[in-house]
Structure 1
Amino acid sequence: MKNIYKYLSIGLMVLTLNSCEDENNFKILEPKEAAFEIVTPSTGTSIILSEATPNNPAVTFTWQPAVYTVPTAITYTVQFAKNGTDFATPVDITESPTTNATINVAELNLNALMLGVAPFTEGTIDVRIKATVGTTGAEPKYSNTINLSVTPFGCLNQYGVGAGLVDAGWNWNSPVVMFCNDNVLTATVNLTNDTFRFFTTEGDWGSGRNFPYYTGEGYVISSTLVNANDGDSNFRFIGTPGSHRLKINENNKTISAFQGTDATGSFWLVGAATPGGWSWAGNNETELGKINNGVYEVPVELKNNETFRVWLANDGGDSWGSPNKNFPSYIADGYTISADFVNANDGDSNFRYVGATATKLFKIDTVNKTITFN
């Protein structure tokens, strides 16, 4: 009988040990919680944004949940950052109590531009998800980082501040707003013979762009705007004080300042030598704006061995019948014309540009009767 009890005891011990071993094995083989990672989209996804559909979804992010030791409510935040900055200055885009969030076209476009992606050019932004809980002192958790290739449209407004901009002055109370459309910034301003500077961010003195910034980037600038050489190398306006139309064209890298609140009284260049070709459609014609009494000037790229003509008026449509002047008409009026231009002898005796293709200041001085390109 004692032996029977002995064997029963040994059997129970073996069963107990086997049970513990099975339980331990079960725990070892238990699958781990999924990592806190972005599931969609995949890194490198390319997104081309369209101005025609600002409210359409641009991208939907989904991610695995963050895991905490104690079940708790989690707030997720989608964060963007400039590519390659390791989220030194992350931008919070949207919050979600769930593991997904959708960003529309307008929002993605604005943030891509603010992170430095050039309009109509594919650029990269970094994305991650931040998880936070309400517990005091709890540290946020971050997902993996992915990057998106985004092609935005439009551009961001910029600003002008300085004593030369009469209605602005050197403060941020009423800066000049340079409204942006397809990377062309424009504003109608009152200019006086003093200094000013452009800024990319309202209220941020550190975002200023002075005269050498633009010349260093290859910009051609109207002759009435010069380097102030004032220690900060601001712009100085040296033209006739009054209302002017300022334009920064970031596509062709030019800055112009034309007199007046509209284009009434301007001259116009049309032809294959000019950016718009032989066309009045849209804004194809090149405005040759008035910069001083009797002086018309524009920074423009002219193409080698191509032709153009000067129109003295623009009726807003196809202005072929508006008053215009060809090469011989200026010669007959006693003008001295730069050797960069010759009579095209093309039936209409247009101007032919024979210099190297370049962006320079084209000027017609009706007082001194000269036409130059330098």
Structure 2
Amino acid sequence: MKNHKIYKFFFAIIMLFSVMSCEDREKITIEENDAPIVMDLSKESVFLDGNFPNNPALTVNWDAASYSVPTEINYVVEASSTENFTQPYVLGTFGQSVKYATFTAVQMNNAAAGVGLPADVTGKMYLKVRSYIGTSQQLQQESNVTSVMVTPYKLVYPDFFLVGEASYVGWTASAAQILHKVENESIIYTYLEKDKNFRFLGQQDWSPLNYSIDDATTDAANRYFKQVSSNITVADHENMKFTGETGIYKVIINADKSVQSLKATASPIPAFDIPQVYLVGNVAGVNWSAENAIAMTKTGAGVFEYTTTLPADAEFKFLGQKSFGDLDWGNISADGASGFLGPKGDNGNVKFVGDGGSYKITVNIKAGIYTIVKQ
């Protein structure tokens, strides 16, 4: 009986010390007597040269943050176009042993684009270092805010090529469809098939660049799209799946570093296998009279062609009826000769500088493209 009481006493002592130890661990605090982490920059101004994207551009130094007990500390270097950091851009995240970081010209240029600094114009970029502990970023501490004058160069955004069973071209990489690129956006109106897989390539080949959803289940080298529309999901480790209804969709990629999104929205003209397509404009004597529009020859599902002479000021559109009705296609988004097709509400006239010679005009509604070839 006496031994039993002794065991209970020692057990109570052990439990008391365990509770005290746990409480000590929970009371990690920032040392109040220490100055906050101080950041310093290697330069006051940086001119970024796009010809040497991997050259060192700026080094950021900081002092160690102090907490009341030894603990693993993480650091984040942030950039902003405003001193209050309402929308910070993360330049990099570093572990406890790191007290400085050197950023290349392309990293600084991406940061400049991420905070909204225009290309080829010198602007002020604000920088600070933030420390924290734990995966939930507890007990954060911030450095002083300092600034550097940055002259960024114009970003060159990647080309995107659509390929896969869901697409018009199937899995033929050499025929992968390039999207129409304007600055950071790449767009095409093209065919997508329900519940089929696809991906984007960076070239008309399987390597080296592939683009898929930025997800833990996909191949690390292919993770790109941070946001996708609800009709696009992860299919497997390298592909995406289209889950919308089969038809023509406007595919939009925003390659801005802070966005990297992919959306597929139904076209105002979801069908592609139109019975007849007509050519209207200042060609073939039509003189923009829809009633007299010239019938093109159908060569496939959604594919039509017509050969005619084209003057230097050639201008035309494609109609699905002999009127300016709902079935109307032209150059995507605005007047021009991009070779990409846009439906009514998102197109302009096809404007082409001919030489009075003969040209074959081909329109492919399913693929979302047109071509003008000298004969």
The verdict on a shared fold, with TM-score over 0.5 as the criterion, is no
Q: Return the index of the structure with the highest Cα Rg.
A: 1
TM-score by length of 2: 0.38
**TM-score, with structure 1 as normaliser:** 0.39
